[in-house]
Amino acid sequence: MKLPFLFRPRLLDDLRGYDRTRFTRDLGAGVTVGIVALPLAMAFAIASGLKPEAGLWTAIIAGLLISLFGGSSVQIGGPAGAFIVIVYGILERYGLANLMIATACAGVLLFVMGMLRLGRLVRYVPVSIVIGFTNGIAVLIAASQVKDWLGLAIPKMPADFFTQLKTIAAHIDSFNPFAFVLGATCVLGLFVWPRLWHARSPVRAAMDIPGIRQASEVGARLPGPVVALVTLTLAAWYFALPVETISSRFGGIPSGLPAFVLPEFSWETVKLLVTPTLTIALLGAVESLLCARVADQLSTAPRHDPNQELMAQGIANFVVPFFGGMPATGTIARTVTNIRAGGTSPVAGIVHAGTLALVVLLAAPLALLVPLSVLAGILLFVAWNMGEWREFAHLRRYSTHYRVLMLGTFVLTVVFDLTVAVQVGLVAACVLFIQKMGSLFSVERVVNDSGLLRYKLYGSLFFGATAKIDPVVQAVETGPERPDVVLDALHLVHLDTSGLDALRQLHKAVLLRQGTLHIENLQQQPREVIERGGLVRELEDKHQDS
């Protein structure tokens, strides 16, 4: 059956000429990414207010579907840190069942966006807005983890940033030094671990002897989050530290397959969930396509298909809620890990999902001992890496336009939420763009001895620049009777209907003074607009009458 739109997963193209060498590389990369995804998936789910298995099965199911149907050769999908704040807020306001419905509806919306080939439109979101809301989300993630990092006895954290700070301050007397030390050690270790195995590291140089070189290479390949999770969990268990764990908060992680659950659905509910649905869909689209663009820069694989990627994200987000999952998107950390580990095709993403499934089904009880402060440390490290903090220091290099958009989006994300920030940011970007484009249009008076009112038009005469025709109208109204006005449009590159109306108002002012208006040297686009609007005929009729 031929579909009315193009649906061609990248996997079909990558399997052409696929050989054992590529499979070996994809197998190793997939296992590596699966191990890296384990602590992140649990941490993202817990921070979002869900049970750890929600993040694990989202990584498995969504990761599998995005690799099967996606438009990128190397992108890895799953739960992402950017969704933490969004999911937590939706949970608090609408509840778990409505989160599932909103996620499924967002999946449908994402698929339709890809089907209508709107993937490239995401690239029109200004980078200043992207950096602003990314930094804002990073701050909110860090704030949400302070409770578990400090081991505070807070039954439930609010979603609002300032209320969170107030709640933390009110419960600071329940500070747990053991949890703090574990979390701080985790963060410090994640910063130090990759530097220990750097090519110029003295540790790497000291171990570069035949008997130990192999062990050094193994250590360099071990992901920092996995090392931190295992070592600090063992330390907390061995010394019987009084810290909260996954077991003490959630009771356990089911080791069986997730049950298929159909949430109660009604159109009245869907209407109430328009805002969270749009938020999930917008963030999922932006995150996945930005991640795919980063992957294109780091990998030698063919460039991604943004529309196919959106359709894959839509399928994944539609399916995972029925298995108790959370919103999913492309993930930069796991995608970069996949590329660096040698992944060449979506097979690596499929292996990553299979690796996670085996771990959950065979070793779920071992996760019960993981201290929540260690997961908080991992997320604090994720938040630090997520933010583009240098952009704040470099703001003076950029225009006022850039600074207003970035800082405004950042503040709105922290104070309100992502939806408000992006909506206001895009409106502000449009207004500033209109103002900028309007400033590029100009009208220049040409002094001459013939008595003509001659002007040259430069740039684009559109709705944001029509006011610059007013001085010409005023010159006609205050000038001599029967004025002859000539507009040289050689450098007029664009004209819209508002600009056409401004020219028609000028023509009316000229007619009231019993004069004539000539427009010469018209380019193709302005000529087509003037002809279609009937102004050319009006000018010609007047010239014939005169």
Predicted confidence at residue 131, as pLDDT, reads: 87
Predicted confidence at residue 137, as pLDDT, reads: 87
As to burial, measured by CB atoms within 10 angstroms (0-12 exposed, 13-18 middle, 19+ buried), residue 529 is buried
- Residues 88 and 83: their CA atoms lie apart, in Å, by 8
Of 82-86, 205-209, 286-290, the one with minimum mean pLDDT is: 205-209
What are the percentages of helix, strand and coil residues in the chain, rounded to 5? 70, 5, 25
Provide the β-strand partners of residue 455.
445, 487
pLDDT tier at 110 (50, 70, 90 boundaries)?
very high
Q: Using the structure block, give the residue that is written with the tokens 């200043």.
A: 128
Predicted confidence at residue 280, as pLDDT, reads: 93
- Residues 144 and 149: their CA atoms lie apart, in Å, by 10
pLDDT over threshold 80, residue 77: yes
pLDDT over threshold 60, residue 503: yes
Q: Which backbone phi and psi does 125 adopt, to 5 degrees?
A: -70, 120
pLDDT over threshold 80, residue 413: yes
pLDDT digits (tens, 9 = 90+) for 54-67: 999 999 999 999 99
Of 233-242, 279-288, 442-451, the one with minimum mean pLDDT is: 442-451
Q: Over range 425-442, report the average pLDDT.
A: 86
pLDDT digits (tens, 9 = 90+) for 45-56: 999 999 999 999
Q: Over range 131-137, report the average pLDDT.
A: 87
Residue 407, token pair as written in the block: 């800082």
Contact assessment for residue 176 and residue 236, using Cβ atoms and an 8 Å cutoff? no
Of 215-229, 284-298, 416-430, 449-463, the one with minimum mean pLDDT is: 215-229
Predicted confidence at residue 504, as pLDDT, reads: 92
Q: Using the structure block, give the residue that is written with the tokens 């028609």.
A: 504
CA geometry: angle at 53 spanning 294 and 186, to 5°?
A: 65
How much is the pTM? 0.80
pLDDT tier at 263 (50, 70, 90 boundaries)?
confident
pLDDT over threshold 90, residue 543: no
Q: Is 444 helix (H, G, I), strand (E, B) or coil?
A: strand
Of 336-340, 457-461, 471-475, the one with minimum mean pLDDT is: 336-340
Contact assessment for residue 515 and residue 476, using Cβ atoms and an 8 Å cutoff? yes
Neighbouring residues of 338: CB distance < 8 A, sequence distance ≥ 6: 29, 30, 32, 33, 74, 75, 76, 348, 349, 352
pLDDT tier at 212 (50, 70, 90 boundaries)?
low
Q: Over range 222-245, report the average pLDDT.
A: 90
Domains in the chain, please, with CATH? 22-386 (no CATH), 390-438 (no CATH), 441-545 (3.30.750.24)
